[in-house]
Structure 1
Amino acid sequence: MDKRTLLSFVLACIFLAPSYANPIDVTTAKNIAGSFIKSNTTLNQTKVKSSTQATLQLAYTCTDKNLEQSTSSHNYFYVFNREDNNGFILVSGDDRYKAILGYTDSGYFDIDNIPANFQYWLDCYKNELKRLSQLPGDFNLTQQGESSKSNEYKSKVEPLLGKIAFNQDAPYNNLCPDVPDGERSVTGCVATAMAQVMKFHQYPTHGVGQHSYRTTTVKLNLSADFENTTYDWNNILDTYTPGEYSEEQATAVATLMYHCGVAVDMDYHYIVSNAYDTSIAGALVDYFNYDAASVKYCNRDYYTTDEWKSLIKKELSNDRPVIYNGQSAAGGHSFVCDGYDEDGLFHINWGWGGQSNGYFELNILSPGIEGIGGGYGGYSFRQSAIIGIQPLKGEVQAPKEPDLKFMLMDFNDESISENSSTQFIYIVANHGLEAFTGSIALALEQDGNYQYISEKSNVTIASNRYIPVTLSVKGSSFPEGSYKIYPAYKVKGSDTWNIMQGPCYMAQYVNAITADKTTNFYVEDNQDSEIEISDLKVIDELTEGESGTFEFTVKNKGPEFNQALCIVIGQTIFWAEGVYLQDGESKTVRMTGLVTQSAGEHTAYVAAYSMSLGGIFWSDDNKIKITINENTSGISKQSIATTNIYPNPANNTLYINSEEKVTDIQIFNLSGQTVLSNKPLQSGNIEINLSSLPTGSYMLQVKSNDKIETHKFIKE
């Protein structure tokens, strides 16, 4: 395999700011919104003045200033409010994309007061439309990645949740724990999404078993007795308006919310409470008795755009709301998708008391291989959905099953003789509800017939976990002829082998040809992405403790490329950005970040970093020598080097080593928000607990005496 071949993985990143080829100005956008109101049956049900356009007021223009008002010509989308709180409409700023990105039929848009989940969605819009602007002017996304008509689902589904509109504060969090500073923790978006779907089904009456755990951040010991609790659906209201509910009704919804949180090991905090999306499906089955035969965790990476949209539509057509999950640089987000209209827009309930609920373009989030739907850059990545959420049919649960998929595939040699051996390496994940114990092997497929070799037995993978698997195989094991090599698995005690699926944008198999006692391996050009890096250089100069810029050219020599690349100085990641390229496309990339290395000679190169796997998994062979100048701006070299951090990237713990007493530590996300703070008042080694932070890139600010030092790090 060509070592320049990259396999697609996820990293939170910041995109370049290109120029637009097909802009839509505010007047045109307003006309588009007015025409849409006239033609849309949902909005026509709202009482408005006869002059539709007169009811529209520009509320917001998304620009290059990271969702701030601006007169910049790079307008990615517009938001228009309808008068009398009759909702708002989002219009694309590029005529190559679908004109209407989303709309609501009630409320109004206020950029300073929107749900975090909706902010996530807006960030997705911005970054995907920004990506579209990087493509040639004749590239028309509206012709790509559109779902075809199907008899498998209805033409439209009205919002299944109806008037259900839960939130994360009182009374929903009345039974959530208080954190040590005395504040009541919020329910968490995962628990809120789960509770809303369970309210829709009004199931179960009682839970199953008990569960206890210790929270990660503030070390609280929590438990819930599901089986001895009655969920009082008659007293769980659709929504809670202050002064309009009883204590009994408040306790009913608070009990449900708290139990949802405990079921997913919620890490409670008063600012944000976190849980993993991979925990939801198992919690619904294990503690709330939902149907194990239908409930399933689905990772967006393994579906094309059409497959993903069809999957969601079929669920909604069967009256099953979907818990939808995404990840951003600022954190994870869970909400409910519960309907869609004739225009292909999906109804989203954000879990914020009904605020901003409405119809939105789902494909803007899609990291598929068609069009620019790829969601690996910026905010739209690590998407998943929990489907098949329905009460147990019958009295006995179906056996839970493992579901193995590979995340990465590689092999050591391009050719081996009959007397030599080689290795195939996979990262294997278990997306199923049950732990896997069994065998993994190589499946040789020729004309529909399969032969299994290099079997590794007694492999164990817990539910929602992944492990590396290396399969060693001798050259004599390969038969004469041409065939395909897949990874396969079978459960212990079964004779049935299952072929593993990889991400839809990745090669699914390795081709092999054996002749004259020699076996050659290769991946077809149309199976995997292949890029070429050239002209890596420093722009101007690099100075310790100051901002610096690198530039390089990347060319895509394979199919669609949608990955995260980074600059590495020595052994430290300098900066990372998402890069999207069509087949044959080239692009010049600039990366700007803080130079944290000391003055002197260093080596720099381009690499790819996988947040899922926790490290750099590919690096370009062309490395350059760079010089970092000593800082002469009045800050001595010694003052710059008084603190250092390790490891970087870090998992749940980051260490700060300081020669001087540290008086204050602040950690900021890439939006500039403070996400952690500490006042250690000590020197030497300082341990920082990062477990409450989602994966992503952060800036660390360390204060000691009169100095402030800044470091960039990545949380895995």
Structure 2
Amino acid sequence: RLLFTFIAAVLVCGSLQAGPVTAETAARAARNWFSGNATRGGAVEPQLVWTGNYDVTRGPLAVPFYVFNIPGGGWIAISGDDSARPVLARSQEGSFSPNDLPDIVSEWFDGYADQIYFLRSQSSGNETAKAQWESLLSGESTTRATAVKMLGTVLWGQGVPFRNMCFKIDGALPPCGCTNTAGCEVMYYYKHPYGRDLPIPGYTYTKVINEESRTFTVPGVEDQVVYDWEHMRNDKYPSGQYTQQEADAVAKLIADCSVMSVTKFGPSGSGAALSNLRNGMIKYMGYDPSMKRINRVDYSAEEWGAILRNEIDENRPIVSEGYNPENTSSGHAFVLDGYDTEGAFHINWGWTGSYSGNTTFFAVDAFSPGSRNYNHNQHALIYMMPATGEMTVKLTDYGIAFSYDYYAPPENRNFYVNAKFYNYGTRPSGTWFKVFHADYRNNPISELTSTIWPGSTAHIAPNSESEKTNWYCKSVYDYKVGDKVMIFYSIDQGTLWYPLLATEGPKVPYCIPIYDIPFIDINDECTYEAGEPLNLLITNNRKAPSSIEWTFDGETVYPDKNGDYRINCLTTGNHTIRAVVIIDGEGTTLVQEITVK
């Protein structure tokens, strides 16, 4: 069973008193929503079918949400607390069957429940949610909820025939894995690549099965192949309705994907990391190297939602994953391929269309209710598209380094740096590189060398590593905390320059710090909006602090259960953040002023 908490915290902080919602009030909200959005005539009468296995007879405080079926087709999930947005999920077709839920959908609702219970424990309210509730309960809302954009990815699954060519466990076919299903659904969306030339190496993994730790070796895929997109079906592969050729076409794609994603197969579930899917799609399947795995914790709820909507607006489906923060070995991946006028998203769960109807949407646009931080272990792949040939080079595991074993910071002196590059694209790279002085957000400040490498006519061949390159750089005199030396690249012969962040691995350095003093990480304007949360973070280029003590306006800030420091809800005015930081046994006091409007 896949545990899963990649779930929208549809709760935001505010100053109003929250309150539980009764079944009667929830039914009225459901009735009004469908009355305003119904395609059928007449009033609707919601039928309560599920409260998430929470006992409704114990009163509204025991119920985190209410799910109603609508006669004639459709269902809606209403929050059990008026500090959350009223509509958590909804569909204008089919019915909700609590006894036949895919694991991932059931666990998605468990996430709603956890967050609503947390919000109740904080006794906080939400002005935006209150306005939504008032509008919905009054029946005044006349806005019709409609899809803004739908990409329509194919509704495949993990069973037969999708798993037919996957690695077997004790002679039996395991599920092919949600990450592989999601990745292949995106590849089918583009019907790319035409084929695969490079062999995919095998690997060995260890997995606990029936309380026994076992080791398995998955063989590599040596053959070159042309993928049979013509015979892959654009449907759920209904039993008995597809040919052997159609089954083999999709099974081959998924089998190759499962090996390149280094899937850990198991009899009841198979898992693969999103980063492995990304690397495999770029290296073996010809997808654009700009594809990026982003982490939810790096963005506000508004920023995260905007990123997802922008990808869909640009006709790029998104593969997302979520892990239980208390058990990072379990999780689920799925495809986001649409959104509606209420800010909810259409999700292709990879469950052969279950709960993925065209009018089925789930709230996924705000993730962090207070100190129960659900931002951890949640990621998404953006820029998922076939390679454009624009940028296919990354730093090798050599990284960027000082030349001639000189490791002092490059302040007030000239210096040399060197690096190696690898072109993992399918065509020669004419990318230009240059060394820059950059700020702590990787924005270029000044060029440190006039040398462009490899030059206007030289190229790095496909799947090839460059020679080690040395740059003679001028000294850096005017620098601030967090500034660094970085390599920038250009794909238009020097008109625009971008920071080269892609490396062979997470520990490979992409920059050289200039000034090694910790600082409190805030936005460029030192200004925030009232109601926003603020994560308290220290940035230090070389050594992590051994301890940090935080105060906000003189009040001590304590870590949450995940060890994170956070101001859940900023209020208007000027505020002082203070941190006492211990690095190498020495204490430093940092002070930062911010303004909240």
Q: Please report the TM-score for the alignment, with normalisation by the length of structure 2.
A: 0.62
Q: Distance in 1 between matches of 2:59 and 2:149?
A: 38
The answer to whether the aligner puts 1:273 opposite 2:260 as a matched pair is no
Q: Distance in 2 between matches of 1:359 and 1:335?
A: 14
Q: Distance in 2 between matches of 1:226 and 1:216?
A: 22
Output one character per residue of 1:538-582: Cα deviation in whole Å (capped at 9) or x when no partner: xxxxxxxxxxxxxxxx9962799999645xxxxxxxxx6888653
1:297 corresponds to which of 293, 313, 332: 293
SS at match of 1:381: coil
Partner of residue 171, structure 1: 161
- Residues 135/263 of structure 1: CA separation in 2 closer, same or farther (3 Å cut): same
Q: Distance in 2 between matches of 1:276 and 1:197?
A: 16
Query: Counterparts in 2 of 1:106-255, with a 5 A limit?
Result: 106-140=93-127, 142=129, 156-161=147-152, 164-180=154-170, 182-217=171-206, 218-225=215-222, 227-255=224-252
Partner of residue 82, structure 1: 70
The answer to whether the aligner puts 1:283 opposite 2:269 as a matched pair is no
**Residues 536 and 567, structure 2, Cα contact 8 Å, conserved in 1:** no
Q: Deviation of residue 488 (structure 1)?
A: 5.0
Q: Distance in 2 between matches of 1:298 and 1:275?
A: 17
- Residues 561/99 of structure 1: CA separation in 2 closer, same or farther (3 Å cut): farther
Q: Distance in 2 between matches of 1:141 and 1:130?
A: 19
Identity %: 22
More displaced stretch, 223-232 vs 200-209: 223-232
- Residues 174/440 of structure 1: CA separation in 2 closer, same or farther (3 Å cut): farther
More displaced stretch, 483-492 vs 321-330: 483-492
The answer to whether the aligner puts 1:312 opposite 2:308 as a matched pair is yes
Q: Distance in 2 between matches of 1:206 and 1:347?
A: 30
Partner of residue 340, structure 1: 339
SS at match of 1:211: coil
**Residues 318 and 382, structure 2, Cα contact 8 Å, conserved in 1:** yes
Q: Deviation of residue 195 (structure 1)?
A: 1.4
SS at match of 2:286: coil
Q: Distance in 2 between matches of 1:205 and 1:355?
A: 30
Q: Distance in 2 between matches of 1:209 and 1:381?
A: 35
- Aligned pair count reads 446
Q: Deviation of residue 142 (structure 1)?
A: 3.7
**Residues 319 and 381, structure 2, Cα contact 8 Å, conserved in 1:** yes
Partner of residue 359, structure 1: 361
SS at match of 1:339: strand
Q: Deviation of residue 166 (structure 1)?
A: 1.0
Q: Distance in 1 between matches of 2:228 and 2:192?
A: 8
Output one character per residue of 1:452-492: Cα deviation in whole Å (capped at 9) or x when no partner: 9xxxxxxxxxxxxxxxxxxxxxxxx987xx94434553269
- Residues 92/451 of structure 1: CA separation in 2 closer, same or farther (3 Å cut): same
Partner of residue 104, structure 1: 91
Query: Counterparts in 2 of 1:355-504, with a 5 A limit?
Result: 355-357=354-356, 358-365=360-367, 367=368, 372=369, 377=372, 381-393=376-388, 396=389, 398-401=391-394, 443=439, 483-490=480-487, 498=499
Q: Distance in 1 between matches of 2:259 and 2:555?
A: 41
The answer to whether the aligner puts 1:582 opposite 2:568 as a matched pair is yes
Q: Deviation of residue 584 (structure 1)?
A: 8.3
Q: Deviation of residue 529 (structure 1)?
A: 5.2
**Residues 161 and 196, structure 1, Cα contact 8 Å, conserved in 2:** no
Q: Distance in 2 between matches of 1:242 and 1:558?
A: 64
Q: CA RMSD in A?
A: 4.9
What amino acid maps onto 1:247 in structure 2? Q
**Residues 56 and 63, structure 2, Cα contact 8 Å, conserved in 1:** no
- Residues 79/555 of structure 1: CA separation in 2 closer, same or farther (3 Å cut): farther
Q: Distance in 1 between matches of 2:387 and 2:301?
A: 30
**Residues 226 and 287, structure 1, Cα contact 8 Å, conserved in 2:** no
Q: Deviation of residue 210 (structure 1)?
A: 1.3
Q: Deviation of residue 500 (structure 1)?
A: 8.3
Q: Distance in 1 between matches of 2:222 and 2:194?
A: 13
In structure 2, the gaps of 5 or more residues are: 10-16, 132-145, 207-214, 398-422, 426-432, 449-475, 503-512, 528-533, 538-548, 572-582, 588-597
Q: Deviation of residue 32 (structure 1)?
A: 1.0
Q: Deviation of residue 397 (structure 1)?
A: 6.3
- Residues 529/184 of structure 1: CA separation in 2 closer, same or farther (3 Å cut): closer
**Residues 120 and 379, structure 1, Cα contact 8 Å, conserved in 2:** no
Q: Deviation of residue 238 (structure 1)?
A: 1.6
- Residues 300/245 of structure 1: CA separation in 2 closer, same or farther (3 Å cut): same
What amino acid maps onto 1:255 in structure 2? K
Output one character per residue of 1:213-235: Cα deviation in whole Å (capped at 9) or x when no partner: 22412412222246324333334
2:552 corresponds to which of 557, 566, 584: 557
What amino acid maps onto 2:63 in structure 1? N
SS at match of 2:265: coil
Q: Distance in 2 between matches of 1:260 and 1:314?
A: 26
Q: Deviation of residue 156 (structure 1)?
A: 4.5
Q: Distance in 1 between matches of 2:251 and 2:303?
A: 37
Q: Deviation of residue 261 (structure 1)?
A: 1.0
Q: Distance in 1 between matches of 2:557 and 2:56?
A: 27
- Residues 311/190 of structure 1: CA separation in 2 closer, same or farther (3 Å cut): same
Q: Deviation of residue 116 (structure 1)?
A: 2.8
What amino acid maps onto 2:151 in structure 1? L
**Residues 169 and 187, structure 1, Cα contact 8 Å, conserved in 2:** yes
- Residues 304/76 of structure 1: CA separation in 2 closer, same or farther (3 Å cut): same
Q: Distance in 2 between matches of 1:448 and 1:491?
A: 8
Query: Counterparts in 2 of 1:37-52, with a 5 A limit?
Result: 37-40=34-37, 44-45=38-39, 50-52=42-44
Partner of residue 670, structure 1: none
2:50 corresponds to which of 41, 57, 60: 60
Larger strand share, 1 or 2: 1
SS at match of 1:239: coil
SS at match of 1:216: strand
Output one character per residue of 1:345-386: Cα deviation in whole Å (capped at 9) or x when no partner: 111111111111220111243x5xxxx4x6x83655322211
In structure 1, the gaps of 5 or more residues are: 1-10, 145-154, 405-431, 453-476, 502-509, 513-518, 532-553, 567-575, 586-616, 622-716
